[in-house]
Structures are given as structure tokens and as C-alpha cells.
Structure 1
Amino acid sequence: MPDYGLYSDKELAYRLNDSDKAAFTEIYNRFYGVLYWHAYKSLPDPDALKDILQEVFVYLWNNRTNIKPEENLSAYLYVSIRNKLINNFRHLKIKNDYIASFQDYLDNNIQPEADETIRLKQLISIIEAEVARLPAQMRLIFQMSRNANLSHQEIADELGLSVLTVRKQVNNSLKILRLKLGSKFFLFFF
């Protein structure tokens, strides 16, 4: 059996193109630590970094046939991490802007009128009915995420699932609810 540790990045990339799992494992072992510490400078959250790195390596494996071995593998991985970090920061900014906007709304509209209260109760019952129609595991994960305010990692640990599975289940449930409830109802929900 060849010693993959002696292969160059280019040779590993060629083997990765051929779906060589040992080559992928060597790439993972060779780059995980340096990518982690490189990204840690921008995002000092170990759990979030592990998720991002896992996404990068899953993407690398799923798109292994599209990797161009002639190109610099380490540069490809660094760019992938950078792009994931940028997307993460964009998502956090949007989320924080939404929270600030919602808090501003709450601060300026302390007492909803009776009509608004009735409509809000109706909306809540519609949403709860749609959530109840989700598949059992998806519903459980969604409720743990939204009602119990658990992180994806906490849900994964409690249910014995991977963080990616939990994230995918939450995203799928949100897609289903968006389709069922429509965009104007979804604004109240998220």
C-alpha cells in the first residue's frame, strides 16, 4: 500500500479525481489543522469552525471529479474556507439586522391592537398546524431549534445525529414552511 504522506498535493488531487478515499483522508489530515488555525483568526468559535471545515471537506469529496489537479489544491481549500467564512458573516449580519429591526418594532409598538392580537393568534395557530404536519424527526429537530432555542450542536448531541443532518433538517423544514405559509406569513415566523 502506498504511503500517501509522501505524495504531493497535485498527486493527491489526481487520486482524489479517481475517488481514492485514502487520498481524500490524506488531504483531510494534511490540511485540516492549518485551515482551522487560518480560519480561527477570523472566527474564534470552535464549533462554528468545525462545521465550516466539515462543509468544505464534504464539498471537496462531493465535487472531487470537478477538481482540477493541475491547480493548487491548498489555494483551492483556502479560498473555499474564505468563501464559507464570508457567507457565515453575511448570514450573521442579516440575522442581527433582522433581530435589531424586530427589537425596534417591539420597542415602538408595545401594545398591539385587538385586531392585531387576533390576527397574530390566528397566524400562530396556522403555523403550529403546519409544523405539526412535518415528518416526525424533522418536526422534533425544528421544535428543538426554534422553541427550545438549542443550537445545532446541542440538538445533534441530544439526538445522536451529525450537525450537518440537524442543519439540513432545519433548512428543509424552513423551506417547507415557506412554501406552505407564503412569504408574508413567514416574516412573522422567522
Structure 2
Amino acid sequence: MRTEEFKHIILPMRSDLKAYALRLTESDDNAEDLVQEVMLRLWDMRQNIKAENNLKALAITIMRNKFYDQCRHEERNFTTDKVMEVPIEDRRAEQRDEVNLIKQIVAQLPTLQQQIFRMKEIEGYTADKIMQITGCTADNLRKNLSRARLKIRETYMNIVKQNKIKKEERR
């Protein structure tokens, strides 16, 4: 893709990307940063991009991946900083609470997703063994496992966010 094509095709998507970024980050500054990173990434990729590809879907996928990467990075830094301050007994209690919360979230999943998630993540079954037991195809297995993980992650993050807000309100 040439520079002129980039300007005429990619740059007009900026407002749509900003709207999506606002939904993800809930912050105008963070949304703007995210859009800027996506634009830079697309600019770096411009030689390999063809104008007839679904570029909006590509941009949104890049944005979502960057957002999740940032969330994981922030969680890691937050956890690392806080672990140093919390006594071992308190950390064990927090870990137990987190495990119980995740068990509750898993119990709310649809039956097939719940079964597949438990076999794969908890019991350590191989994909072939799970397909044999459930009768799912490889594609169906991947989709259900992905949906289960996404639902668990989203629900967990929402609960953590709500608890954080409640703690701040108490102060």
C-alpha cells in the first residue's frame, strides 16, 4: 500500500477506531493512545497490506490485542508491586478467594464450555482426548474453550473492578 492509499483508506477509520477504543478503555486519553499505537502498527505494516482486505477488522483486532496486552502488563506490575507489601498469610487467603471466585464463574458457564474448560485447564486432558469424550470437532473445541476463557476473564475483571470501586467508596 502506498502512502496516498494509506491516507485515503486508513486515516478515515480513525474516528471509528477511537469510538471502539473509548468503549475498551473508558478513558479519552488512553483511547487516543491506543488509536495512535494501532495507526503506527498499520503504518509499519503498510507494505504488506492490500487495499481490498478488510482493513477495519484488522485494525480492530490489532487494537483489541494491544488493549489486552496492556491490561496483562498492568496486572503483572500491580501484582508484583502489591505482593511485596502483603504478608504471606494474607496472600494465601487472597489466592483462596480468587480460586473460589473462579470456580463460581466456571460453574456459571454453559455446560459444554464448563466441561471443556475443566478437562483442559484443570484436569490437563489433551485436545484429542477432549474431542473423543465430548464428540466435538477440533474447531468447535477451540471455539468453546476460547469463549469459556473469555467469559471467565471478563466476569473476573468486572468483579474485581466492582470490588475496587466498593473499596474506594468506603474510604
TM-score of the two chains, using structure 2 as the length reference: 0.46
In terms of fraction of residues, the more helix-rich structure is 2
TM (norm. structure 1) is: 0.42
Greater C-alpha radius of gyration: 1
